[in-house]
Amino acid sequence: MREEPLVSVVIPSYNRKDKILKSVDSVLEQSYENLELIVVDDGSDDGTWELFENFPDRRLSYIRCGENLGACHARNLGAERAAGELIAFQDSDDSWHNDKLEKQVKHLKATGADLSFCGMNRISSTGSSFYYPVHPFHPEKGLEEMLAENRAGTQTMLMRREVWKTLRFDESFRRYQDWDFSIRAAERFSLAYLPEALADSEVGTDSISASVNSYQALLHLYNKHLSLYRQYPASDAVMNRRMGKRLRRIQPEAAAVHFLKSFKISANPYDLFWYIRARIRAGKGGKVL
């Protein structure tokens, strides 16, 4: 009987000494045992390395970078060192369910897909949670659906090595790198969705400054894949609506531009409503309506 394929799991980490062991344990305690874990310390200065100086599980290897170059660089570095036929990525502040890899390896085999992604529980600091992705995934419309909304968090992905080798993570992204990767994967490879929450992920707070930073990252993603958005007008409308909502509270004039673009594409009264609202707010000097 053929041995199960080796799965290489990469965890990038930056100043997560207080949380990373929970993430590491959730990988090493998987029911699927044929795995290696590569922790890439992205220039931490909080003493993270102390946790791994004499780590008892030989399946774990630790790489310490001399400077902070971002999670995408760390993921790529870890994947370069990986020996597995299959590669998965985990985040340093999240945890996997015990049977995640076992179920996903079976799912990958059963579907014949190049990349499997599963659902996860997004958990807030108050303890409330919701299932992600919000909307289902249909492989026959995979690229269009990924352009409209990311459905595959990095910590939910299990892929054949060739997928990562072909795509790699774009190191110009500090946010939405999983979305960018998912779009490119959907364009070139076959994706399969396992609709079951097999990971738990913390959700950060939503502030005005976070919305502005989110907008810049969305714009970067949108501009990179602009030719694809032009091919899928419905996804283009959704993306412009999303960017408009990121800006509506503090830059209503710029938000109105996005809502108008969305309305011209979709002819949806919902977009017209947001356009008019943004224009009125801009006329009132940005005051809350």
Q: What's this model's pTM, rounded to 2 decimal places?
A: 0.93
Ordered per-residue pLDDT tens for the chain, 289 residues: 358 999 999 999 999 999 999 999 999 999 999 999 999 999 999 999 999 999 999 999 999 999 999 999 999 999 999 999 999 999 999 999 999 999 999 999 999 999 999 999 999 888 899 999 999 999 999 999 999 999 999 999 999 999 999 999 999 999 999 999 999 999 999 999 999 999 999 886 544 445 567 999 999 999 999 999 999 999 999 999 999 999 999 999 999 999 999 999 999 999 999 999 999 999 876 544 4
Residue 172 tokens read as 């110009």
Q: What stretch(es) of the chain map to CATH 3.90.550.10? A: 7-202
Question: Hey, what CATH class is 210-283 in?
Answer: mainly alpha
Contacts by 244-247, CB closer than 8 A, 24 or more apart: 244/274, 244/278, 245/274, 246/211, 246/212, 246/214, 246/215, 246/218, 247/211, 247/212, 247/215
Q: For residues 186 and 146, is the Cβ–Cβ distance under 8 A?
A: yes
Backbone angles phi, psi at 222, to 5 degrees: -60, -45
Q: How much helix, strand and coil, in percent to the nearest 5, is found in the chain?
A: 45, 20, 35
Q: Which fold has domain 7-202?
A: Spore Coat Polysaccharide Biosynthesis Protein SpsA; Chain A (3.90.550)
Determine the distance from the C-alpha atom of residue 66 to the mean position of all C-alpha atoms in its chain, rounded to a whole number: 25
Q: What stretch(es) of the chain map to CATH 1.25.40? A: 210-283
